[in-house]
Amino acid sequence: MWTRRLLRAAPAAVLVVLMLASGMAAANRLRLTTTNFSIRWREFNVPTGQTPELSEPRLRHCPLTLSGSFHSATIAKVRGALIGYVGTPQMGTCTGEGGTVTLLLRTGLPWHLTYRDFLGTLPSITGFHLALLGFRMSIEVPPLFGEVCLITTTAREPLDINFTREAGGAVTSAGGTESRIVARNTTGFLCEGLTWAMGGNGTLDNGSGARVTVTLI
């Protein structure tokens, strides 16, 4: 009796497994509701040296907007794939302790945006990661005797931008975690090898303020 029941149930179970596998295999791309984008931080955190106690870094909080375009409204989930460019970075007046921060607007543009990975389990994902290569920032650090440190992100040391996605697909935040980037000196030797943690919570929109939605296809 039990054997006959198991035999009758087996085809249905196999069908369910095949359907699930098919759905997961089909979800190999992300679809965006826009090809234009702006990633905006009200307070992008930039370290400018150490406090006198050397326990916490001095920070400058800088309004930062990175605007550009995706190559396509669909993105293949292939790690390292070039998916878009940042062509217009803008930085407002920074506030906080010490240091002068300059975004190098005309150097090395456009910056490259690549796909890294996703969070969650297919076919439901809770977020995805992109990496920005070529991002350039100059930081003058008074605690280091006026040294000028240059930040340049590469494939080995990228600026990770982590996006949070709601169940319905809307992207709710960008850059929820910090990237650790190595600074290089331009006027001396004291910046060489320093590791900088930069980040802050931002938003993603279509360049005109409308929310971006991401679905799996």
**To the nearest whole number, what is the mean pLDDT of the chain?**
79
Residue 78 identity (one-letter amino acid): V
Q: What is the pLDDT of residues 16-66, one digit of tens each?
A: 444 444 444 456 889 999 999 999 998 888 877 666 555 566 778 889 999
| Tokens 């007046």 belong to residue | 93
Say yes or no to pLDDT of 188 above 70.
Answer: no
Structure tokens at 92: 């407002």
Say yes or no to pLDDT of 214 above 50.
Answer: yes
Q: Are 74 and 106 in contact (CB under 8 A)?
A: no
Q: Are 77 and 29 in contact (CB under 8 A)?
A: yes
Backbone angles phi, psi at 10, to 5 degrees: -60, -45
Structure tokens at 44: 């992008």
Q: What is the pLDDT of residues 6-27, one digit of tens each?
A: 445 555 544 444 444 444 445 6
Q: Between vectors from CA 59 to CA 141 and to CA 107, what angle results, nearest 5°?
A: 60
Say yes or no to pLDDT of 173 above 90.
Answer: no
| Alpha helices (H) in 56-212, listed in sequence order | none
Say yes or no to pLDDT of 80 above 80.
Answer: yes
In this prediction, residues 163-188 reach a mean pLDDT of 73
3-state SS class at 144? helix
* pLDDT value of position 19: 43
Structure tokens at 187: 């006027």
The predicted model scores a pTM of 0.79
Q: Are 147 and 190 in contact (CB under 8 A)?
A: yes
DSSP calls for 10-22: HHHHHHHHHHHHH
**Torsional sign, CA 105, 107, 110, 113:** negative
Which of 162-166, 198-202, 208-212 shows the lowest mean pLDDT across its residues? 198-202
Of the candidates 118, 84, 129, 83, which has an alpha carbon nearest to the alpha carbon of residue 216? 118
In this prediction, residues 89-101 reach a mean pLDDT of 86
* pLDDT value of position 69: 97
Say yes or no to pLDDT of 156 above 90.
Answer: no
